[in-house]
Every structure is written in C-alpha cells, then in structure tokens.
Amino acid sequence: MDPKKELIFDLSLTDLEDRLKLLGEPGFRAKQIWVAVYQHFRSSPEEITTLPKGLRSKLADAFDFQSLEPIREIASEDGLTIKTLFRLRDGHPVEAVLMYYEDRRTLCISSQSGCAVGCSFCATGQMGFKRHLTSGEIIDQVLYYARRLAQTDERVTNVVVMGMGEPFLNYEPVLEALNRLNHPDALGLGARRFTISTVGIVPKIIQFADEGTQYNLAISLHTVDDDLRSSLIPVNKKYPVDDIIRACRYYVQKTSRRVTFEYALIQGVNDSAADAEALAGKLRGMICHVNLIPLNPTSGFAQNPTSAEQAQAFCEILESHNIPCTVRLRRGIEIQAGCGQLAADFEKNS
C-alpha cells in the first residue's frame, strides 16, 4: 500500500482510459484492466497476465491496487458471520462484515472511518469521526470479500452500506462506488442488490429519490418520538421525524420503490405497544417494510435488547396495521459484529 499513488479503484472506466493515454498506452487497455480487477479479482498488476509486461510495470509504478490492510478478523461460532478490521493507507481503521445466508452472501460495508452523527447506542458514533472514505476505499471492501468468496466458487450477492459512517454525509463517493460496482464491465451486481442506510439526512433523501437509480433505501429510525430520537440520534434535532417521513413519501412517489425502516429495539425504551402504535401511525399508507432488530449491546450504551417475545409482539401490532415487518436475526453478537465495535476497540488501544 502506497498512499502517494493514485488508488486504481477511485477511477471510472473513462478516467482509467485517460490515465493510460497519458502513460502512452491505448485506451482499450482500460477495459482489460477493469475486467481483470472487478471480474477476475486480480489484486496487483503482476497478476494481470493478459497485459504486456511493460504495461504491468507502468501500472505498478502509477497506481496502488490496495487500500486496506486486514489487521484483525473474527468469525462467529456458527461460521456464518465474518468481520474484518482494516487499516487504511493513512492508518485509520475501518471495518466490514460478510454474512452467509442460505441463498445470499451479504456484505455490510463502511462509508467513513468513524462517524460524526454520534448515535448514542452505536460504537462507531462513540468513537467519533475520522474521515470520509473515497469511492475506491468503499469498493475495495467489496472486492476483498469477493476475492475470498471466489476461492470457493461463491460470489457477493448483496451489498449494504450500513457499516461505519453516515453514507449520505459522504454522498458522492458512495454513489460513485455503487455505480462502479453496478457497471456491467465491473462487478455487474444488479442495482436492487445494493442498499444504502441513512439516519435521515433529509436533503440527500430527496436528492437520492431524484437520481433515478434502483438502489434500495433504508432509514435507521428507531423511534418516532422526536425527544427520544434526538437523545439517541442527535441529528434528529436538525432533521426531525416528520421531515424524514415526508422525504420518504417523496422517495416512494418518485421511485415507486419501498423504503425499509430499521428499528433497534431497546428494552424499556422504545419497545412498548404504544411505541408500535405510534410507528404504525407515522407509516400508514406508505410502501415500506420494518426491520426490527434487538439492540446490539456496546460498552458505551448501558441498555439491553428487547426480548424475543416483546419483539414479536411489537411486530404483530405493525402487521395488524398492514405494515410488513420482520424481526431480524441478530448476527455475530459474540464477535462484536455491530457497526464500529472492533474499530472502536482498536482506537482505544492504539
């Protein structure tokens, strides 16, 4: 890894063509490089044997093909969740998670190192903001696991930008990364295989609706009580619940796509029947789905997850109002798979 070199994953296909021309190489080589990197998962110029040796040497001199150094990796006891802590080229930590499901291989990737939003129950928020990731650093997390899965003839099926950071505060690089991964000459993963999760940055929800993409939108809502939500998610003071719901209704109207609402159930805080009724009232008539997630405990938040019985009761109330709901299986609790937990520990100990 060499931070002085340009990261090749930061380049669009057109950008790469332009760079190659500056190196005295024909632009058509760009597509060969893209196919090698994004479809055959080559991680260095030396591995791209379809290129002339002289061009491989030029690529090695001009570009960095790695932005992530894995420094810690842990797997759940059932082997279905793998979390990797990476060191970026400037030393900042970032992490990503691979989750195995029966018919899916889902990645949860990060858009920032740390986070400025400061959600009280989130380990990333507790560690503070370090910096935005570039589009290439976001892409590299996907390619890291794509290479790993390819070793067993498997492939990434879904990508969720729900790891460290607030994606809509790093909007352009996140969209660039997804557009590149969606490109037919790159990873070629269908647009509906991508989900971006936001705490509710209202102007960006509107902008996202106007983009005309088919990427999925998820909102980390957690409560519809503004006072409670502001204590959990401070940015709610700027973008309160009703503004978020209006933006989501605009998104549905504009795209005809449903919104997923993520709701972390915290025992005795936001998990009562009254909380469920209030949520149902806000979402009535919207094309949406609610993911209920019993809280992932963190050392900086002294609350407990809701019981399975209470989570099911909450779900049944939503369903009685014709709001689709799922109680999501918690994954990787024993390996600190919640956002930012490994990185926060790394920051404390480094």
Enumerate the active-site residues. Answer: 95, 339
**145, 107 in Cβ contact below 8 A?**
yes
> Could you tell me how far CA 314 lies from the centroid of its own chain?
26
CA distance 252 to 166: 21
Which residue from 294, 236, 290 is spatially nearest to 269, judged by alpha carbons? 294
Cross-sheet strand order for the sheet of 68-75: 68-75, 81-88, 93-100, 105-109, 158-161, 194-198, 216-220, 259-265, 288-294, 325-327
Give the CA angle between residues 60, 64, 65 to the nearest 5°: 95
**128, 92 in Cβ contact below 8 A?**
no
The residues near 245 (Cβ < 8 Å, ≥ 6 apart) are: 282, 283, 286
Which residue from 171, 191, 165 is spatially nearest to 180, judged by alpha carbons? 191
Residue 291 — φ and ψ, nearest 5°?
-100, 110
Q: Tell me which amino acid residue 75 is.
A: A
Q: How deeply is 344 buried, as exposed, middle or buried, from its count of CB atoms within 10 A (0-12, 13-18, 19+)?
A: buried
Q: Tell me which amino acid residue 328 is.
A: R
**13, 185 in Cβ contact below 8 A?**
yes
